[in-house]
C-alpha cells in the first residue's frame, strides 16, 4: 500500500494515536477507561472491508475502548505508564521491521544489544568477560532460559539424549514465587511435580533453613537438586529473598542459583535501594524486565547468564542458511543461535534510546519516586480506620497491600463470617471502578488472607494527588457495601 493510493490513512492513524495519548495524560480526559461498558463484542471487531479508509475509521472507534494503561491512575499491573521516548523507539523499530538473528540484517541493533547487556552486567557487578545474555519476550521466557541453561550446564548430553536418559531433577522456588517456574518445568519436560515450593516467612521471603532442608530431603530420595529460583521483588508482596544466604546454600550443595528480578531488578539503578538485592552478583543467572519499574514499553526483558558462551552452546543448531562461518564479519555477532527461537523482535532500541536520554541518574530518580509514593500511601492508610494494611512495616518495593473495610464491617469482630464478607469487598469495588473508569487496581487472595488490593507504582507520571484520589475513590466506591 503506497501513500499515493491511500493519502489519508497515515494521517488517520496518527490522529488515533494522538487521541489515545491525550487520554492517558493529565491534559486529556480524567478516565482510565471511559467506555468500558461500550466495548464492542468480538464479532464486531472483524468485518471485511473493501475500503482501507473505512477500516481505519472503524478501528479508530474500537481503539477508544482500550484501557488507558499509561494513565497515572492505572495501577493494575507491574508495567504501566507510557514513556514518550520509548514510544518513539518502538515506532522506529517497527519502521525498520527487521529481525535479530544475524548481524547482517540488524547490525546497529545487534551492537546496541551487546552494549546494553554489558551495561546491565556492570550494574550486576559482573565482569564482561564472564557474562552473557539476550533479550527475550518477557520474564517468563527469561526464567525458562535460566532452567534450560542450568540443566545443560549440569547434563550437557541432555541436548541430544533428552531427559529420559538422566536422573530425576528437581527445582526449588519460593511458595510465593512467579508461576513461570512451574511453566518452565512443564515445557522442558521436567514436570511440575518436580518443582518444590519453599516455605516463606510472614513477610513473604524464603526461609533459608527450609530451603536447605528441602534440598537435603530431595537428595535422600535419590533426586538431583538442580536449581534454586530466588525472587527479588515478588509479584504480590514485593518481597526480596535473602540472596546471600541462598547463594551460600547453592554453593554448598552445587545448585544453579537464578534470581528472578523481573520486578525488582530496576532497584539496582538506585543507590538508595540496591542494597535490597545484595548477593545478586553471586547468581548464575538473572531475569530483569526493564518494561516494569523502569518504564520501557512492552516488551523488554533480558536473561543474563554468568558464563560466557553457555547460551550459545546450550541452544546452537547451526542452521547453514543463516549461520555460515565464512562471512565477511565476525560471526560471533550472529546471536540467533543463543535462543530457541528463530525470528526475534527488536526490543533493544527503545531501551537504548531511553537510557541515552535519561541516563542512569534519570532512571534512579524515577525509581526513587515510585518507592516514595509507596511509602506515602502506606503512611496514609496506616492512619485511617477504613483501611487495613496486610503488612504494618514499610514496603520494600512499591507494592502496598491492604483491605478496604466498609462501615458495615468495621464494628464486626474477627470471625469466619467477617472474612467471608470481606472477601467479597475488593471484587465488588473493582467491578465498580471498571464500570466508572476512574482508576484500576488489582486484587487477589494470598494464603490465609482473603481478597485484598495490591497497589503498585511504576508510572513516573503518578503523583501524590493520584494517591490521595485513590484512597478517597476506593472509599466512595465501597462505602455502601
Predicted pLDDT of residue 162: 92
Q: What are the two backbone dihedrals, phi and then psi, of residue 207, each rounded to the nearest 5 degrees? A: -90, 115
- pLDDT tens digits for 175-201? 999 999 999 999 999 999 999 999 999
- pLDDT tens digits for 133-174? 999 999 999 999 999 999 999 999 999 999 988 999 999 999
Predicted pLDDT of residue 83: 87
At residue 22, does pLDDT exceed 80? no
Mean pLDDT (whole number) for 435-460: 93
**Confidence label for 464 from pLDDT (cuts 50, 70 and 90):** very high
**Confidence label for 303 from pLDDT (cuts 50, 70 and 90):** very high
| Of residues 196 and 11, more confidently modeled | 196
Predicted pLDDT of residue 205: 97
Predicted pLDDT of residue 82: 84
CA distance 38 to 56: 19
Predicted pLDDT of residue 79: 84
301 strand-pairing partners: 136
Mean pLDDT (whole number) for 322-342: 88
CA distance 113 to 257: 24
Q: What are the two backbone dihedrals, phi and then psi, of residue 326, each rounded to the nearest 5 degrees? A: -110, 30
- Give me the chain's average pLDDT, please: 88
**Confidence label for 40 from pLDDT (cuts 50, 70 and 90):** low
Predicted pLDDT of residue 437: 86
Which is nearest to 392 in space by CA: 378, 403, 380? Answer: 378
Which is nearest to 267 in space by CA: 367, 400, 370? Answer: 367
Mean pLDDT (whole number) for 377-390: 96
**Weakest mean pLDDT among 73-87, 198-212, 287-301, 394-408:** 73-87
Mean pLDDT (whole number) for 125-129: 90
**Confidence label for 33 from pLDDT (cuts 50, 70 and 90):** low
CB 189, CB 159: distance < 8 Å: no
- Cβ-based neighbours of 92, under 8 Å, separated by 6 or more: 349
At residue 43, does pLDDT exceed 80? no
State the pairing for strand pair 256-261/224-231: parallel
Residue ranges of E strands in 137-288: 169-174, 195-198, 224-231, 256-261, 285-288
At residue 77, does pLDDT exceed 90? no
Predicted pLDDT of residue 436: 87
Predicted pLDDT of residue 273: 97
**Confidence label for 51 from pLDDT (cuts 50, 70 and 90):** low
At residue 357, does pLDDT exceed 50? yes
Mean pLDDT (whole number) for 419-426: 95
At residue 2, does pLDDT exceed 50? no
pTM for the predicted model, two decimal places: 0.89
Mean pLDDT (whole number) for 199-226: 97
CB 180, CB 139: distance < 8 Å: yes
Mean pLDDT (whole number) for 418-445: 93
**Confidence label for 444 from pLDDT (cuts 50, 70 and 90):** very high
Predicted pLDDT of residue 60: 44
Mean pLDDT (whole number) for 417-445: 93
Amino acid at each position: 500500500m503506497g501513500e499515493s493510493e491511500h493519502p489519508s490513512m497515515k494521517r488517520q492513524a496518527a490522529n488515533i494515536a494522538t487521541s489515545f495519548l491525550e487520554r492517558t495524560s493529565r491534559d486529556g480526559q480524567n478516565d482510565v477507561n471511559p467506555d468500558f461498558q461500550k466495548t464492542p463484542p468480538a464479532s464486531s471487531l472483524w468485518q471485511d472491508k473493501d475500503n482501507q479508509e473505512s477500516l481505519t475509521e472503524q478501528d479508530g472507534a474500537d481503539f477508544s475502548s482500550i484501557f488507558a494503561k499509561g494513565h497515572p491512575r492505572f495501577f493494575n499491573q507491574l508495567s504501566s505508564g507510557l514513556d514518550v521516548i520509548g514510544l518513539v523507539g518502538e515506532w522506529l523499530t517497527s519502521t525498520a521491521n527487521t529481525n535479530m538473528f544475524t548481524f547482517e540484517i540488524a547490525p546497529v541493533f545487534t551492537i546496541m544489544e551487546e552494549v546494553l547487556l554489558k551495561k546491565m552486567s556492570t550494574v550486576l557487578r559482573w565482569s564482561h568477560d564472564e557474562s552473557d545474555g539476550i533479550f527475550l519476550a518477557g520474564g517468563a521466557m527469561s526464567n525458562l532460559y535460566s532452567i534450560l541453561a542450568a540443566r545443560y550446564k549440569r547434563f550437557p548430553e541432555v541436548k541430544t539424549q533428552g531427559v529420559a536418559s538422566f536422573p530425576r531433577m528437581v527445582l526449588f522456588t519460593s511458595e510465593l514465587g512467579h508461576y513461570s517456574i512451574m511453566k518452565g518445568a512443564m515445557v522442558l519436560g521436567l514436570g511440575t511435580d518436580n518443582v518444590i515450593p519453599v516455605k516463606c516467612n510472614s513477610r513473604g521471603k524464603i526461609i533459608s533453613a527450609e530451603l536447605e532442608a528441602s534440598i537435603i530431603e530431595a537428595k535422600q530420595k535419590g533426586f538431583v537438586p538442580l536449581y534454586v529460583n530466588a525472587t527479588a521483588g515478588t509479584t504480590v508482596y514485593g518481597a526480596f529473598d535473602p540472596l546471600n544466604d541462598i547463594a551460600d546454600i547453592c554453593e554448598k550443595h552445587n545448585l544453579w542459583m537464578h534470581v528472578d528480578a523481573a520486578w525488582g531488578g530496576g532497584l539496582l539503578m538506585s543507590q538508595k535501594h540496591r542494597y535490597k538485592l545484595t548477593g545478586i552478583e553471586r547468581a548464575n543467572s538473572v531475569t530483569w524486565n526493564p518494561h516494569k519499574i523502569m518504564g520501557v514499553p512492552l516488551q523488554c526483558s533480558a536473561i543474563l547468564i554468568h558464563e560466557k558462551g553457555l547460551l550459545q552452546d546450550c541452544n546452537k543448531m547451526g542452521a547453514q542458511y543463516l549461520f555460515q562461518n565464512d562471512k565477511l564479519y565476525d560471526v560471533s555477532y550472529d546471536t540467533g543461535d543463543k535462543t530457541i527461537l528463530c525470528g526475534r523482535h527488536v526490543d533493544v532500541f527503545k531501551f537504548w534510546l531511553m537510557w541515552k536520554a535519561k541516563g542512569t541518574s534519570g532512571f534512579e530518580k524515577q525509581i526513587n519516586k515510585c518507592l516514595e509514593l509507596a511509602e506515602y500511601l502506606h503512611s496514609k492508610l496506616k492512619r485511617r480506620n477504613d483501611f487495613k494494611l496486610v503488612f504494618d512495616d514499610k514496603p520494600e518495593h512499591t507494592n502496598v497491600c491492604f483491605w478496604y473495610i466498609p462501615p458495615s464491617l468495621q464494628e464486626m469482630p474477627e470471625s469466619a463470617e467477617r472474612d467471608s464478607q470481606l472477601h467479597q469487598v475488593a471484587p465488588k469495588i473493582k467491578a465498580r471502578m471498571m464500570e466508572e473508569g476512574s482508576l484500576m487496581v488489582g486484587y487477589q487472595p494470598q494464603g490465609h488472607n482473603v481478597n485484598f488490593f495490591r497497589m503498585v507504582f511504576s508510572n513516573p507520571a503518578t503523583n501524590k494527588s493520584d494517591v490521595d484520589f485513590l484512597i478517597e475513590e476506593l472509599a466512595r466506591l465501597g462505602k455502601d457495601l
